[in-house]
Amino acid sequence: MSGGNDELLNAFITEASEGLADIENDFLKMEENGDNVDLDLVNKIFRAIHSMKGSSGFLGLKSIGLLAHEMETALNLIRGGDLIPTPTVVETLLKGADALSEMVRNIEDSESYDVSGHLDAIKKAIAGETSEETQESLNRDVDVELPDGGGLVFMLICEQELVSRQRNGQSIYVLDVDMIGDVHDRGRTPLEFLKSLYQCGELIDSYISTAGVGGLDEDLPDKLSLMLLVASKLDREELEAALEIPQDCIHFIASPEETDWTTGTPKSPMTPVSTPVQTDEHAAPKTSSDIPAITNEASARPETSPTSTPPAIRPTQASTSLRVNVGLLDTLMNLAGELVLARNQLVQILDTSDRANLESAAAGIDQITSELQEAIMQTRMQPIGNVFSKFPRIVRDLSKSLGKECELTIEGKDVELDKSIVEAIGDPLTHLVRNSVDHGVETPTVRDAAGKPAVGNIILRAFHQAGKVLISISDDGKGIDPSVLRRKAVDKEIYTSEQARALSDRDAVQLIFHPGFSTAEEVTDVSGRGVGMDVVKTNIENLGGNVEVDTEIGRGTTVTVKLPLTLAIIPSLVVICSGDRFAIPQVNISELVRVKRGEVAARIQKVKNAEVLRLRGSLLPLVRLSSVLSMPTFAPEKPESHTVEPPLDSSQCAPENDASSAKNIADSQAERDIHSALNIIVVEAGHIRYGLIVDALHDSEEIVVKPLGRHMKESECLAGATILGDGKVALILDIAGIASHANLMLVEDEELEDLSDEARKRSGDTQPVLLFTNDPHEQFAAPMPLIARIERISTNQIDSVGGQEVLQYRGGSLSLLSLEDCIKAKPKPDKKQVYVVVFSLAGKEIGLVAPELVDIRNVPTEIDTVTFKEPGVLGSVIVDDRATRLIDIFGLADAVHPDWFEKRATTTTSTGGKPNILLAEDSGFFRGQIMKFLEAGNYDVEGCEDGLIAWNALQDPEKRFDMVITDIEMPNMNGLELAAKIKSDPMFAHLPVIAVTSLAGEEDIERGKRAGVDAYHIKLDREKLLVAVADALKEAKLKAGSAAGGSLMSSGRV
């Protein structure tokens, strides 16, 4: 028996879990409907609870049975309209359902679970909401006695239930089933019997007669009697046919007034009260043939209909089994069959070595494998609704306990994600939803005062976008106030008050992801425990996703979680280090940098034994993969090195034009690296960003992640393994682990900053430029800050329209320039693919055709403006022993599209003369350039070589200036000092100060602002600078006119 019992128990657990999975939301819906009871819904819940009760009695699970019984009683009252599902009632029922789930989960211990609290609560809830008569009849339990003198059978049914069932047209039967003779011997399992019973009617109670059962060690008894109290609409004959049990085992029980019923309290069946009780609700008809005139009869009928289906099936969380669509399984079977055929074909061909057939067989296998993979992946896909379904309850409970009113709208339940992601996303999402209720939505009074509806809206949405799944949680609450976050950040000493002030609102909002940050003014037990969003972020990032916050004060907050469809396959870059291949997940890679042989010394520097890379003006810590992995340092036999097309921002790619220099010699000695180029992968993991030096890039590949065995679990540098195309195993690198293994700390940042400052000072002024060639022998440079992006196009995309070249793309057209058409340059070679460098000028875009890109480089600004003087060329500079012309993109664009730069309304001073600008710039080249275009813009300009000279010029009583433009890095007195001096001197404080720089970094701008600089601009961005000058002058004039009054006005008139 015990084997069968296990099976039965497992079946019970599965069924009960499925029944309970949906029950929460049904309860909530029921509550929402209030006294407008949706009978279908109540019946659905009733069925779930009821079948639990029936089966639990069968399995001897008393606690579950008792609780289910009590809940059923309440549901029955609701069904009959005697109990209104008020929030209190639903609350107790929900708690009861929780307890049931708990018990089902730990079925072994379910008997030790104390359900009395729940029983009392439900009883109380019923007592509070029903009429006294109903209660009375509830309290009268009825003992059942078999009519034909079979004796009193102790089964519990309360009178109220009996009456209401009979009102529904059901008859009550006692079935005396012999589990051995009637069930087992007829080749049925107890479960099958129960199932057929459920199709005929409802099981009210069951009772196993132990009389005929011997001890466990003895042989099976020949009779095992099971008493079942059943309510059914079928008559005896029909029951007999449906259940295949002898008719004499079916005992019809008449209704109370027909006697046979005795009432008594359940605890003392020994003292039966002999008088039958008549409730004032008129007793129901006696037999099923009499259909009572009760309107809900029809809706109660599905109960007995054989086609009634169990509630929708939902696997519970973290389940180890999975329900798969049969159609999908069929597809899989088909594919497996085809795979076998293809294998057979392949084996046959191997005998004949027929090349053509071999290829077709290989192609076949290729296709089948892909399809097979896709189909198998599909079996893992689960609807996100499995997770979403628990949120209505969470929102309800939480808003109740917080005294708020929230309505949760769920969209996109059917969006599917990999099973592992669906399971893992539950907790982070719960946290986010809780946050929305706790921190987002305000209390009704606050909302009212703000003119918003009292009920807050929370929208949970899942949808597909660009191959990813996005889940957004939006509320229309109070939003996140960046200033509160700034203050908090200072309080918690995450930032100094200056740093905090410098944060943009957007950056400040991101602070909620900072460890140890909680936005709730008071810490509640709900959220705001100080561990929160940072954990959410980490968890989501572990799933290969990311999370973003969008907020508007007073309007609400939207948190968007972006997730990959699957974790099983991740795109990655395969690199070579010391002859072995390693995979780096693409999500961790931000760009690839190749430092050429000649530049290694200049670009790689050492800070306290740690190597750093100078990358576009900042310093990046470097980690050598070979030394971090303690790999032997030998040259790989044959480095298969070729530049991989990285799926990165094209403006960041530093392609290589010299294939011969692509020879990589593995080498852990930094000194020897001077003789070889370096492949650096700029990687990111959380807050950490560093460069990983590898020997060579191999390929980009989609890999399947495989776990490593227990002997390698401790290696923090490895995230797993994968099998590459050739069948060999490659290890997957853990980017965060490598950082911690290499002791890469964020603390170093400050030192790095110091160094980068120093480096900047030492090297003098430099300008980052993009180097490219037109004819392979002529090198050109374009200032980086003006470049919007770089595109790679094929030349047949270029159209010639009216003598102008245009590129059709992104639904519009881009005007193109070719150098040979504008300046003295050799024509570009005929190529299929070229790069287009896109500049953004005066709000318009123009593309410059650059057949070959060389590098991005900082070039000194000692620029020769004489040798290659012509319109469209700023000057020349020597880079890598090659004369390189720095192009003037404004000049080029002006020549082609003179209409683009229409005359600006020139600003005049209050005296009507030309505004006089003082320019401090130590680089002769830039000084010349800026003076040139300012003068062209109708300004008078006085150029000074450094800040001190400029300061002295200001003091000169002969001169009067309307504004100051200054470079930052200058000898004697730098631009910041100059700005500070000007702003602190009452004589000059009114002068607008614009700082110019070769590349405006965030920190530079911040430092400038602190010194009193009004605006920051890029030296070679002529258009922006001119606009800024005009604006600043206009503003200064306004200020002087309105605020300062007489003295300034008069001084102006002098």
* Interface with another protein (CB under 8 A): 580, 629-631, 706-712, 714-715, 717-718, 721-723, 727-731
Residue 727 C-beta: closest distance to another protein, Å: 6
CA distance 975 to 947: 6
39 within 8 A of 296, measured Cβ to Cβ: yes
Only one residue has tokens 């005697």, namely: 82
Choice between 471 and 717, CB closer to another protein = 717
Residue 372 C-beta: closest distance to another protein, Å: 13
Choice between 433 and 629, CB closer to another protein = 629
User: Which phi-psi region, left, alpha or beta, contains residue 154 (left: φ > 0; alpha: ψ -120 to 50)?
Assistant: beta
How many other CB atoms are found less than 10 A from the CB of residue 962? 26
616 Cβ neighbours under 8 A, 6+ residues apart? 768, 784, 856, 999
Choice between 343 and 990, CB closer to another protein = 343
Q: What are phi and psi of 123, to 5 degrees?
A: -60, -45
Residue 580 C-beta: closest distance to another protein, Å: 6
Residue 334 C-beta: closest distance to another protein, Å: 21
| Token pair for 225 | 């009697």
Please report the DSSP string for 521-551 in residue order. SS--SSS-SS-SHHHHHHHHHHTT-EEEEEE
Residue 643 C-beta: closest distance to another protein, Å: 25
Choice between 433 and 721, CB closer to another protein = 721
CA distance 929 to 1018: 12
3-state SS of the chain: helix, strand, coil percent to 5? 40, 25, 35
720 within 8 A of 705, measured Cβ to Cβ: yes
Residue 1027 C-beta: closest distance to another protein, Å: 56
Residue 712 C-beta: closest distance to another protein, Å: 5
Q: What are phi and psi of 807, to 5 degrees?
A: -115, 125
How many other CB atoms are found less than 10 A from the CB of residue 766? 18
Residue 570 C-beta: closest distance to another protein, Å: 15
Choice between 74 and 744, CB closer to another protein = 744
Residue 706 C-beta: closest distance to another protein, Å: 4
Choice between 289 and 630, CB closer to another protein = 630
Q: How far is C-alpha 164 from the chain's CA centre?
A: 51
Choice between 66 and 732, CB closer to another protein = 732
Residue 726 C-beta: closest distance to another protein, Å: 9
- Name the burial class of residue 451, with classes exposed (0-12), middle (13-18) and buried (19+) by CB atoms within 10 angstroms of its CB: exposed
CA distance 11 to 449: 54
Choice between 557 and 578, CB closer to another protein = 578
CA distance 980 to 993: 10
User: Which phi-psi region, left, alpha or beta, contains residue 1024 (left: φ > 0; alpha: ψ -120 to 50)?
Assistant: alpha
Choice between 741 and 914, CB closer to another protein = 741
Residue 585 C-beta: closest distance to another protein, Å: 17
Taking alpha carbons only, the member of 835, 873, 478 closest to residue 655 is 835
Taking alpha carbons only, the member of 796, 794, 782, 805 closest to residue 853 is 782
Choice between 363 and 712, CB closer to another protein = 712
Residue 632 C-beta: closest distance to another protein, Å: 9
Q: What order of strands is seen across the sheet that includes strand 993-997?
A: 940-944, 916-920, 963-967, 993-997, 1015-1018
Residue 722 C-beta: closest distance to another protein, Å: 8
Choice between 707 and 764, CB closer to another protein = 707
Only one residue has tokens 């067989």, namely: 361
395 within 8 A of 429, measured Cβ to Cβ: no
Choice between 63 and 722, CB closer to another protein = 722
Residue 496 C-beta: closest distance to another protein, Å: 39
CA distance 882 to 876: 10
Q: How far is C-alpha 420 from the chain's CA centre?
A: 14
Residue 717 C-beta: closest distance to another protein, Å: 6
In three-state secondary structure terms, 472 is strand
Choice between 579 and 924, CB closer to another protein = 579
Following CA atoms 151, 157, 159, 162 in sequence, which dihedral angle do they give, to the nearest 10 degrees? -100
Residue 819 C-beta: closest distance to another protein, Å: 49
In three-state secondary structure terms, 806 is strand
Choice between 241 and 723, CB closer to another protein = 723
Choice between 183 and 631, CB closer to another protein = 631
Residue 631 C-beta: closest distance to another protein, Å: 6
CA distance 630 to 335: 45
638 Cβ neighbours under 8 A, 6+ residues apart? none
Only one residue has tokens 């000058």, namely: 1029
256 within 8 A of 162, measured Cβ to Cβ: yes
CA distance 250 to 237: 9
221 within 8 A of 212, measured Cβ to Cβ: yes
CA distance 1027 to 903: 11
859 within 8 A of 843, measured Cβ to Cβ: no
Residue 39 C-beta: closest distance to another protein, Å: 50
Say which DSSP state 588 is in: G
Choice between 187 and 725, CB closer to another protein = 725
554 Cβ neighbours under 8 A, 6+ residues apart? 450, 478, 479
Choice between 131 and 369, CB closer to another protein = 369
How many other CB atoms are found less than 10 A from the CB of residue 499? 13
Q: What spatial distance separates the first Cα and last Cα of the chain, rounded to whole Å? A: 114
Choice between 285 and 720, CB closer to another protein = 720
